[in-house]
Amino acid sequence: MKGGLRQWFVRTVYADQNSSVSVQRALEKTLLRLGDNDVGLNVGAGFTRFGPRVFNVDLELSPSIGCRARAESLPFANGCFSIVISQETLEHVIDPPAAIREMWRVTKPGGTLYLQLPFVIGYHPGPTDYWRFSKEGIRTLAEKAGFTCEETGIAVGPATGFYRITVEFFALLVGGVCPCIYRVAKGVAALMLFPLKLLDSILVSVPEADRIAGGYYLIARK
């Protein structure tokens, strides 16, 4: 089963060019911890699919969502999931500590949490946007809920963080002169400045990269 899971992972997640190498590796590491009879949970899944044994939860129903629920109140029994995944979700939650405590509750003893959160990124309501998390912040969030951190790392590099902010700045600058072309300006800037993101392969290894990283991931155990 684990061999099949690895093949599925390579065909789908690895094909997503928006995922960094570190995210791909960390997600694979987490997914491969699913035993033959285990199930996982993806909180705030959106359109993400991690295979038939990972149950998707989100605020809005869609063909990929199995259950509509808030992260702060998950409708599942204690300790029923061997892995819990949450990517770029808790910045949209009013009470992230409560949501993490719920994830801890539904994770079985010895189970794994994969958490991914933004640091340097512009406002992006979905439907709301409340928080940003440093590397220390994402670790503290998980540990205060009772998880034991195994690994943290940069999920979105500093070049991508700079790219996102620069694109938004350019769009605001042009949109301030002519508001009706804000979206067009943003699209043009996104295309023109895209090569900036390629610098992440160099910059992620620089110790000071944490200062403007786009976001972080964490792997932790219950």
Cis upstream peptide for 179 (omega within 30°): no
Distance CA 211, CA 38 (A): 38
User: By CB neighbour count within 10 A (0-12 exposed, 13-18 middle, 19+ buried), where does 142 fall?
Assistant: buried
Would you state the pLDDT for residue 19? 63
Res 145: pLDDT: 97
Look at residue 178 in the predicted model and tell me its pLDDT.
Answer: 87
Which is higher by pLDDT, 19 or 99? Answer: 99
Percent of the chain predicted with pLDDT > 70: 91
The CA-atom distances, in angstroms, between 106 and each of 77, 111, 145, 197 are: 6, 10, 12, 37
Give one DSSP letter per residue of 162-217, joined into a string: HHHHHHHHHHHHHHHH-GGGHHHHHHHHHHHTGGGGGGHHHHTTSGGGGGS-SEEE
Element (H, E) at 161: helix 158-177
The tokens describing 207, both together, are: 């110790």
At 47, the pLDDT band (50, 70, 90 cuts) reads confident
DSSP state of 119: S
User: pLDDT for 130-161, tens place per residue?
Assistant: 999 999 999 999 999 999 999 999 999 999 99
Contacts of 94 (CB under 8 A, 6+ apart): 72, 128, 130
Instruction: Please check the confidence at residue 84 and state whether its pLDDT lies above 90.
Output: yes
Tokens of 212: 């403007």
User: Which pLDDT score is estimated for 137?
Assistant: 97
Tell me the domains of the chain and their CATH numbers: 2-157+204-221 (3.40.50.150), 158-203 (no CATH)
